[in-house]
């Protein structure tokens, strides 16, 4: 079978020739090859069944720092300075509905910060309900030009699936416009404001998904880690607030005959059944203890009959810091539980990290091929 055939058969819960191998490898690629594009994936990992996520192409001013902002009727004052090892970016957006400002500290790549370090926001754009009218002015139009996607489909060929990444209302959206901890307080103290802010970005994510599907997307990669229980949300709030949002994204995706891959690299034990009930096709990354709480045998029993489980192998304790023998054992145990009946894609608890030895990566792929045959 080709990688594409293998992945699609698995997602249909058929038994392919072997379990697909689809770990996340972008951080390792950035460190080792200087690029995480599709060509680097295909070249560096010939034994991988690719599930390659690509951004939808919509500029995100809330999340990203640009040298130029193409925002009609908005003037942007941006100043950069140094504070120790950090680059400090201070931005002021002058909109017809008022002024927004934020302050972002960007750590250097490498060392303790990693190859793609997360910026730290010491001031957020949205301080309260009064900022919502101005916020609408800095949201760029949703991208509708998907010429790049057709090129990637051609480049991928039968080596796997190209997935268009669309973030949920919180991920790098409301959760960067306003601190997530403040949003948790808003849920109790100012529910109308909470609902309006998340609703604004949720409607935007639906528009992004629709544009991607109409542009030829065959798979949507939806990220939800800001909504994870690992971020501090309770199971009850998750079910009430985020469950309906997930369902809307999934139903929209399925109306176009496409696949929905749900991404949360945090705790899933108390939410996996609710997520599966929304109809997602794939659930990842299914992180096991001690970092996560995912019980593969429990998940296989409760949701494995209709939801494809992807990931599971611990990137740090097993693949980076383990021995080839330990990697083989972990993969063998995962295959014993996950392989029967299809619906299992072996991967990783997040991207393989910089510093992971080539010997251990070779051991991982060899073990997956050895133990994954049906």
The CATH code of the domain that includes 244 is 3.20.20.210
The pLDDT score that the predictor gives to residue 344 is 98
Secondary structure element (H or E) that encloses residue 93, with its range: strand 86-95
What pLDDT is stored for residue 345 in this prediction?
Answer: 98
SS3 374: coil
Residue 360 lies in a domain: yes
Pair (145, 120) in one structural domain: no
Domain that holds residue 291: 3-58+141-371
pLDDT, residue 356, reads 96
pLDDT score, position 94: 98
Q: Considering its fold, how many domains does the chain have in total?
A: 2
96 and 176 together in one domain: no
Looking at the structure, tell me whether residues 172 and 319 fall in a common domain: yes
Retrieve residue 236's tokens: 């009850």
CA 104 to chain CA centroid, nearest Å: 22
The verdict on residue 38 lying in a domain is yes
Specify whether the backbone of 367 is left (phi greater than 0), alpha (psi in -120 to 50) or beta.
alpha
> How large is the angle between the packed helices 191-214 and 180-189, nearest 10 degrees?
120
23 with 172, same domain: the answer is yes
Do 204 and 171 share a structural domain? yes
Whether 133 is covered by a domain: the verdict is no
Q: Is residue 130 part of a domain?
A: no
Query: Tell me, what's the pLDDT at 211?
Result: 98
* In-domain check, residue 183: yes
- For residues 12 and 42, membership in a common domain is answered with yes
SS3 241: helix
Residues 332 and 233 in one domain: yes
- State whether 153 and 25 are in the same domain: yes
- Asked, for residue 366, whether it belongs to a domain, the answer is yes
Within a domain: 132: no
Tell me the average confidence (pLDDT) per consecutive run of 10 residues in the chain, 374 residues long. 98 97 96 95 97 97 96 96 96 98 93 83 98 98 97 98 98 98 98 98 98 98 98 98 98 98 97 98 97 97 97 97 98 98 97 96 98 98
Asked, for residue 87, whether it belongs to a domain, the answer is yes
Domain identity same for 89 and 232: no
* pTM over cut 0.95: yes
Q: Are residues 195 and 250 in the same domain?
A: yes
- Domain co-membership, 97 together with 198: no
Residue 167's beta-bridge partner residues?
223
Position 117 scores a pLDDT of 87
Same domain membership, residue 319 and residue 258:
yes
Domain end residue (candidates: 125, 149, 164): 125
């Amino acid at each position: 079978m080709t990688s594409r055939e293998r992945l699609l058969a698995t997602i249909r819960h058929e038994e392919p020739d072997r379990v697909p191998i689809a770990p996340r490898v972008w951080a390792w690629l950035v460190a080792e090859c200087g690029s995480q594009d599709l060509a680097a994936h295909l070249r560096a990992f010939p034994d991988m069944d690719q599930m390659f996520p690509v951004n939808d192409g919509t500029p995100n001013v809330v999340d990203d720092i640009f040298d130029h902002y193409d925002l009609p009727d908005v003037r942007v004052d941006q100043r950069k300075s140094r504070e120790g090892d950090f680059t400090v970016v201070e931005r002021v957006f002058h909109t017809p509905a008022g002024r927004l400002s934020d302050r972002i500290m960007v750590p250097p790549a490498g060392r303790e910060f990693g190859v793609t370090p997360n910026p730290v926001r010491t001031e957020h754009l949205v301080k309260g309900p009064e900022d919502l009218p101005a916020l609408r002015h800095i949201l760029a139009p949703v991208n509708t030009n998907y010429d790049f996607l057709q090129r990637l489909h051609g480049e991928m060929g039968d080596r796997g699936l190209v997935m268009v990444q669309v973030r949920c209302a919180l991920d790098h959206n409301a959760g960067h416009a306003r601190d997530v901890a403040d949003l948790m307080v808003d849920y109790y103290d100012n529910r109308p404001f909470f609902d309006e802010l998340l609703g604004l970005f949720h409607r935007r994510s639906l528009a992004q998904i629709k544009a991607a599907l109409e542009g030829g997307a065959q798979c949507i990669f939806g990220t939800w880690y800001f909504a994870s229980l690992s971020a501090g949300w309770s199971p009850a709030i998750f079910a009430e607030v985020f469950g309906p949002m997930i369902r809307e994204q999934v139903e929209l995706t399925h109306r176009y005959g496409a696949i929905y891959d749900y991404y949360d690299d945090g705790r899933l034990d108390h939410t996996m059944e609710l997520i599966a009930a929304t109809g997602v096709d794939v659930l990842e990354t299914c992180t096991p203890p001690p970092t996560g709480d995912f019980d593969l045998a429990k998940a296989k029993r409760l949701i494995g009959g209709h939801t494809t489980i992807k990931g599971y192998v611990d990137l740090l304790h097993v693949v980076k810091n383990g021995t080839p023998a330990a990697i083989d054992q972990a993969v063998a145990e995962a295959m014993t539980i996950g392989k029967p009946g299809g619906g299992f894609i072996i991967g990783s608890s997040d991207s393989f990290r910089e510093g992971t030895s080539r010997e251990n990566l070779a051991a991982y792929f060899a073990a997956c091929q050895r133990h994954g045959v049906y």
